Structure 1
Amino acid sequence: MAAAINLSGKNYLITGAASGIGLATARLFKRHGATLVLWDFNAEALEQTTQELQCHFKVVDVAQSDAVEAGFAEAISQVGKLDGVIHSAGILRTGSFESLDITTHRRTIEIDLFGAVAVAYAALPHLKQARGSLIFLGSGSAFWGTAEFNSYGAAKAGVLNLAQALRTELAGTGVHIGVVNPLFVGSPMLDETNRQAKYIRRFGIVHIPEQVAEAILKGLDKRRFMIWPSPVLKTRGMYWATHHLHFAAPLLMRLLWR
């Protein structure tokens, strides 16, 4: 059980830590005894979070690789080593592909995909030393191209592919790679504009951030690759259907989008 997991003496860096899943994960890890380094792009919200949790913090845009590298160097100077990195930073803007401007598409890919690449690239030398964990925040939209989640889903599919590649490349190094795969999470990212997407209006909110944080903690403890937040049947069911019923997935997704 998560209640028995002890993170005392361990150090974790969490990106996107000022709200949503990142904030819920930071609070949960703190309760379990972890020492934290928190990153976010929102300076005001991050300062409030760090006042609450009394931990190290840095304002970082994860799409800026130089800032990410500098952030890891600072984190190591503060805590000595990193036992894990939870990469939760991301943005979402739903809408039909043509309704979103090219700047929005570009920024989504930069933050959600290149941000994951930049964080992984900077984190791995430190995680190899500690035989630590790197957990990415994936998405159910990575399993199959999801209407109105076009660039976001493409970025998250890239994150899943990146994690799969790293899992193979790093076998035998002691580094644990994981991907947590939620569906629709009731967090500030899912604002009123994003909630207008047809899939969200049909299915509603599936998870709260605390459920995803609990799944991350358990996945970290068990060193799992695919991490499923509660309710598990919905998330794993979507993955199973799109992978094992591949021939039917396009029709299924069109029917659900009506």
Structure 2
Amino acid sequence: MTEHRKTALITGATGGIGSALAECLASDYHLILAGRDGAKLADLAERFPEARVLALHLDQPASLADAVHGIDRLDALIHNAGVVDLATVEAASLDEWQRTLTINLVAPAELTRLLLPALRAARGHVLFVNSGAGLTANPGWGSYAASKFGLRALADALRGEEAPHGVRVTTVYPGRTATDMQRKVRNQEGGEFVAEAYIRPDSVASTIRAALLLPRDAHLTDLTVRPGS
């Protein structure tokens, strides 16, 4: 009998942590690499010829059902995609709130719901790449932190609901990581982007891999990763 090869779907696979995850997990899983930018997805397809690339528009959750139709077994669903726009509660627009909450929270909830049968079939693992902002909300971070607090609540509820089905759920809270998103954040904060001061994306990816590949008798539920000295 041919041994089942594990499959992992990574959202935000064209970004810093997502790309590092693809590198880190390529030898362990058949990869489904999801993103929204066609040119970047084409580049991923060249870098990972054995992977499947998948266009997902997380700002349109109603479109996700068609996009993931046919995935009937999934060992790992890694929610890595996200957006951030810093603004005070006074200054943040309705559109900014709706976009942030839709992409960072509503879409992961809907994607998880759609893929639960495939995850249950594999006794798989859902992993949410959260943020330090999912633990503490600072001034100017209201909409982003709200989306990440919500993501934490989603993970906690899902963990209890899916335990009878053998589905594990982990949340990882990375600190500031040397990615293009962090570069954007530092620009919005009016500060300098110094890559050496932050966590490398491959370090976050290695942490995620360790959580995913734990034996079945262990379950890492929450992991906080901070820049080293």
TM-score range, shorter chain: 0.7 to 0.9
TM-score by length of 1: 0.78
How far off is 1:42 after superposition?
Answer: 1.4
1:47 is matched by which residue type in structure 2?
A: A
Tell me the equivalent position of 2:109: 117
Q: Structure 1, residues 196-216: CA drift from partner, whole Å, max 9, x if none? A: 438998xx9431211111111
How far off is 1:194 after superposition?
Answer: 4.2
2:40 is matched by which residue type in structure 1?
A: A
Task: Work out whether residues 135 and 177 of structure 1, in 8 Å CA contact, stay in contact via their aligned partners in 2.
Answer: yes
For residues 173 and 83 of structure 2, what CA distance do their matches in structure 1 show? 16
For residues 200 and 212 of structure 1, what CA distance do their matches in structure 2 show? 22
Tell me the equivalent position of 1:3: none
Unpaired segments ≥5 residues, structure 1: 1-7, 235-258
Tell me the equivalent position of 2:25: 29
Task: Work out whether residues 63 and 118 of structure 1, in 8 Å CA contact, stay in contact via their aligned partners in 2.
Answer: no
For residues 200 and 140 of structure 1, what CA distance do their matches in structure 2 show? 19
For residues 97 and 211 of structure 2, what CA distance do their matches in structure 1 show? 31
Tell me the equivalent position of 2:6: 10
Tell me the equivalent position of 1:190: 182
For residues 184 and 230 of structure 1, what CA distance do their matches in structure 2 show? 7
How far off is 1:155 after superposition?
Answer: 0.2
TM-score by length of 2: 0.87
Tell me the equivalent position of 1:239: none
Which one has the bigger helix percentage?
1
Task: Work out whether residues 211 and 229 of structure 1, in 8 Å CA contact, stay in contact via their aligned partners in 2.
Answer: no
1:210 aligns with 2:214: no
Question: CA separation of 1:226/1:92 partners in 2, compared to 1, >3 Å: closer, same or farther?
Answer: same
Tell me the equivalent position of 2:145: 153
1:225 is matched by which residue type in structure 2?
A: T
For residues 101 and 230 of structure 1, what CA distance do their matches in structure 2 show? 31
Tell me the equivalent position of 1:85: 77
For residues 146 and 9 of structure 2, what CA distance do their matches in structure 1 show? 25
1:41 aligns with 2:36: yes
Q: What SS is found at the alignment partner of 1:172?
A: helix
For residues 48 and 150 of structure 1, what CA distance do their matches in structure 2 show? 34
Tell me the equivalent position of 1:5: none
1:50 aligns with 2:45: yes
Task: Work out whether residues 84 and 185 of structure 2, in 8 Å CA contact, stay in contact via their aligned partners in 1.
Answer: no
RMSD of aligned Cα (Å): 2.4
1:133 aligns with 2:128: no
Task: Work out whether residues 20 and 188 of structure 1, in 8 Å CA contact, stay in contact via their aligned partners in 2.
Answer: yes
Task: Work out whether residues 24 and 209 of structure 1, in 8 Å CA contact, stay in contact via their aligned partners in 2.
Answer: yes
How far off is 1:192 after superposition?
Answer: 4.0
Q: Structure 1, residues 11-32: CA drift from partner, whole Å, max 9, x if none? A: 11111101111111011111x2
For residues 37 and 133 of structure 2, what CA distance do their matches in structure 1 show? 25
Task: Work out whether residues 92 and 194 of structure 1, in 8 Å CA contact, stay in contact via their aligned partners in 2.
Answer: no
Question: CA separation of 1:193/1:179 partners in 2, compared to 1, >3 Å: closer, same or farther?
Answer: closer
For residues 113 and 98 of structure 2, what CA distance do their matches in structure 1 show? 21
Unpaired segments ≥5 residues, structure 2: none
